[in-house]
A and B are shown apart, each in its own frame.
Chain A
Amino acid sequence: MVRVHIEFSGGLELLFGNQKDHDVDVPVQDGQQGLTAGHLIAWARDNMLRERPELFVKGSTVRPGILVLINECDWELSGAAESLINDGDCVVFISTLHGG
């Protein structure tokens, strides 16, 4: 089990019970070395999402237009959906679907 702090921003919190911060324990998938971001997303969709999954995920990854930060760093720098998430990491999902 990996302890992750998840934060939702930019309107995504509405899909997750209007709560911005979540501290969760995510089980590691069998056969995998560690928790990948892709798996975290799937787990969040299955266990945390209250409504409208199509606004959060598309296929196996987040919907285009949603930015993901792992420890305040762009997840694309660490392999996007293949990034490894360690214990105590902070993952932020920011939706850019609303105009600024």
Chain B
Amino acid sequence: MNCGMNEDDQELLDAGPTAAPTMCRSEKPCAEATCSQSGGGNSSSACSSGRNCKAPASSCAHGDSDAQSLACMKCKAARAVVLVRQREPLCQACLEAGVSGKVRALKSNKLLLPNDCAAVAFSGGFSSQTLLCNLLGMRKTVTTPRKERGKIEFNLVVLHINEATAYGLSVDAADAHGRAVQAAARRCGAGGPSAAVLVVPLSDVFLFRDELLDRRQNAVQLPGDAADCGAFRKAGLDVAGQCDGQAAFEEVEAGQRESVGSGNQLESVEKTGKDEQEEQAREARLHELLQSVPDPTGREDLLRHLRNQLLAAVAAQLGANKVLRGDTATALAARVISETAKGRGYALPGEIQLLDAREVQRGQPAVLQPMREVTRKEAVFFCRLRGLQPVQLPYTEASSRRSINALAKSFVDGLQANLPSTLFTILRTAAALKSFPFNALEAVPRPNETPAPENTGPATESGTRDGCGQGVGQAGTGLAFPHSCMLCRAPLTPREQEVIAAAAALVAVGSLRIRSDPREENVVDASAAAKLLRPDGELVVGVHSNRSSTAACAATSAEADQREPAAAAPEEEEEEAHGDDLSAPFCSSCRSQILFTPEQSASIAGIPTALRGTRVSREQGCSGNAVGSKTFPLLPKCFRL
């Protein structure tokens, strides 16, 4: 076999679904310059020159150029440039048509509707650029000619989470990377009033929701696109108002152009010293958080988790109801393997489907993965043939070499090289896992609509941006308790949900402290809480069960737990080493194994000290608490309801 495969692989391939003849199947002399016989599989291996030559290409003296003039399998006319899937040669046009057809499945599945606002997660790599190009092509703007029907009017914001500092780059290098990503997005066609590009540093995950974008608008790094974002918000997300948006954008851009033209970006915006200090504090905190994870896999996963949180939070803040990610089939297949290896099979179905609506109840946007049928090779060639260069983070892979994720990725790649059906076999198998009802399309609210009645939270959409992201914390407006654990993304049992909802209600009520020590009967607090809760029989019962369950928790945990209301910031905090935060949406297995274990049993059990402790205090920053024990002010506020 002359495709670079050895004999063992040849046998494997023969045994597989695609039988592999070594010659062009027709076995007729090719009279044409390009072999247009429909020998799908391995006709490439035969010399496809016009001469009657059946020798394998490598030893044929007819030269390389003849062998490359293989016709595209789909259109049979143009020259093939890439071999995809099960050895199908395709020309550029057919490749692009195939890829965009898959992204357009969004429309045919009614996942992207007119007047939606979509946030595109853009990393600057091949698959992000492919996704962006195709999405922009799907969009109907004011300039679209009438005859191009089938295009949808939706708004787009391109969102990049700048993780450069997390990989050890300096702030300046991170800024340069952010600018490079913006340039890449613009090359794909983004960057206008309804396709703004926004770069957000990962350390912003520590900001509270309402502060998220206000900071970025005044950011000094991105004068041009920060203005885009501002105009984007001002203009609103209504397509009909695009004219206003355009005017606002031009105004702002004109203003920015003057300052940018002066050559010094810093002149255009004031960034107060305090802002800068706080930003550095957040960066330091992020760094400490990542360093506290001892193993590379955990660190990568935590990074990924923070990135997703920030994406969802910023998108929600911008009023987007959908987040579009560019994960390719290759990436998803590797994730199936790695997540299974880590024991996260329960949460897997939600991760790999086209639509992930688990967080919608909390006011977060639904996550779509329109590239899940596109292989990474197709995405690379798509970009390459259009001349789009990827933006690469200038770091080496040294840190990721030993992680489970890297191992899964190289496993899938290695298998795929020999067996082209690997990817889709893995995905098809994983797709057999059914998703939960709350993770279905019906759960995603349309713009200007409140979500389905089962959700009690005010997860409003593009019309009123204030409600976004605030599911809980407003006394009297009801609660939106989560359906899945924050950490492992597995669904919560009804009992777990009950406990969390009750605890969250008590937090929302105000300055209450619940001691889970069964000896202390805080009767007054309980009844006050019960009064302020909704007169929903279930919740009142939940309060009682909360006490009993916390009593049970106290029995298992070595120390007494103390609750601190999230709302009462100026209150001085009890410096408790390991609080069991009952309102945090974690499943019981995460809670007991990873998060809230007391120090002694954890160190005995050898559980990594990362991710312990829940104290998140603005004042503390990254200095930990006053008590001598080792706490980690780790989890960002967005982890709470």
Mark out the residues of chain A between 54 and 100 whose CB falls within 8 Å of any chain B CB in the assembled complex.
Answer: 55, 58, 61, 63-65, 67, 69-74, 76-86, 92, 94, 96-100
In the complex, residue of chain A having the shortest beta-carbon distance to the beta carbon of B398: A52
Closest to A61 in B: B4
B390 contacts A9, C-beta separation under 8 Å: yes
Q: Is the interface of A mostly helix, strand, loop or mixed?
A: mixed
- B512 part of interface (Cβ distance < 8 Å): no
Q: Quick one: given A11-B392, A77-B89, are A99 and B70 in contact (CB under 8 Å)?
A: no
Closest 5 CB pairs of A and B: A100-B127, A100-B125, A80-B4, A82-B58, A65-B413
Known: A64-B414, A73-B68, A100-B379. A9 touches B389 (CB 8 A): yes
Is the C-beta of A24 less than 8 angstroms from some C-beta in chain B? no
- Do B2 and A76 touch across chains, with their CB atoms under 8 A apart? no
Establish whether residues A55 and B397, one from each chain, have CB atoms under 8 Å apart when the complex forms.
Answer: yes
For B328, the chain A residues whose CB sits under 8 A away are: 100
Find residues 1-59 in chain A having any chain B CB closer than 8 Å to their own CB.
9-11, 14, 33, 36, 38, 55, 58
Nearest Cβ distance between residue A12 and chain B, in whole angstroms?
10
Q: Which residues of B contact A33 (CB under 8 A)?
A: 61
Tell me how far the C-beta of B354 lies from the nearest C-beta in chain A, rounded to whole angstroms: 18
Q: Is the CB of A94 within 8 A of B380?
A: yes
- Are B125 and A77 interface neighbours, CB within 8 A? no
Interface-located stretch among B80-88, B262-270, B492-500: B80-88
Chain A residues, CB < 8 A from B417: 64
CB within 8 Å of A: which of B405-442? 409-410, 413-414, 416-417
Given contacts A10-B390, A11-B392, contact A79 B58 (CB under 8 A): yes
Cα distance A63–B394 when bound, in Å? 21
A100 & B326 in contact (Cβ 8 Å cutoff): yes
How long is the Cα–Cα vector from A72 to B413 in the complex, in angstroms? 22
A31 to B271, CA, bound (A): 68
The answer to whether A94 and B384 touch across the interface, beta carbons within 8 angstroms, is: yes
Question: Given that A83-B64, A96-B376, A100-B328 are known contacts, is A73 also in contact with B4, CB under 8 Å in the complex?
Answer: no
A77-B83, A85-B64 given. 4 additional CB < 8 A pairs? A77-B80, A79-B2, A86-B63, A100-B328
Closest approach, in angstroms, between the C-beta of A90 and any C-beta of chain B? Answer: 12
| Contact sample, A vs B, 25 pairs, CB 8 Å cutoff | A10-B390, A11-B392, A38-B4, A63-B413, A64-B410, A64-B414, A65-B413, A67-B377, A67-B381, A70-B64, A70-B68, A73-B80, A77-B80, A78-B64, A78-B67, A79-B44, A80-B4, A82-B2, A83-B64, A92-B384, A96-B380, A97-B397, A98-B125, A99-B127, A100-B376
Instruction: Identify the closest chain A residue to B68 (Cβ).
Output: A78
| Closest chain A residue to B389, Cβ basis | A9
Known: A78-B44, A82-B57, A100-B376. A73 touches B82 (CB 8 A): yes
Contact of B58 among A36, A71, A72 (CB under 8 A): A36
Residues on the A chain within 8 Å of B396, using CB: 14
- Name the residue of chain B whose CB is nearest to the CB of A94: B380
Is B330 close to A, CB under 8 A? yes
B597 at the interface (CB under 8 A from A): no
Instruction: From known contacts A83-B64, A84-B63, A98-B392, infer whether A72 and B385 are also in contact, taking CB-CB under 8 Å.
Output: yes
CB distance from B88 to the nearest CB of A (A): 11
Q: CB of B123 within 8 A of chain A?
A: yes
Task: Chain B residues near A78: list those with CB within 8 A.
Answer: 44, 57, 64, 67-68
Q: Which residues of A contact B45 (CB under 8 A)?
A: 79
Is B472 an interface residue when CB atoms closer than 8 A count as contact?
no
Q: Which of B97-124 contact A (CB under 8 A)?
A: 123
Q: Cα distance A86–B62 when bound, in Å?
A: 13
Q: How far is the CB of B103 from chain A (nearest CB, A)?
A: 14
Contact call B3/A79, Cβ cutoff below 8 A: yes
Chain A residues closer than 8 Å to B67, beta-carbon distance: 77-79, 83
The residues of B that contact A70 with a CB separation of less than 8 Å are: 64, 68
Chain A residues contacting B416 (CB-CB under 8 Å) are 64
Are A100 and B397 touching (Cβ within 8 A)? no
Q: Which residues does chain B contribute within 8 Å of A55, judged by CB atoms?
A: 397
B505 part of interface (Cβ distance < 8 Å): no
Q: How far is the CB of B478 from chain A (nearest CB, A)?
A: 39
B58 and A74 contacting across the interface, CB-CB below 8 Å: no
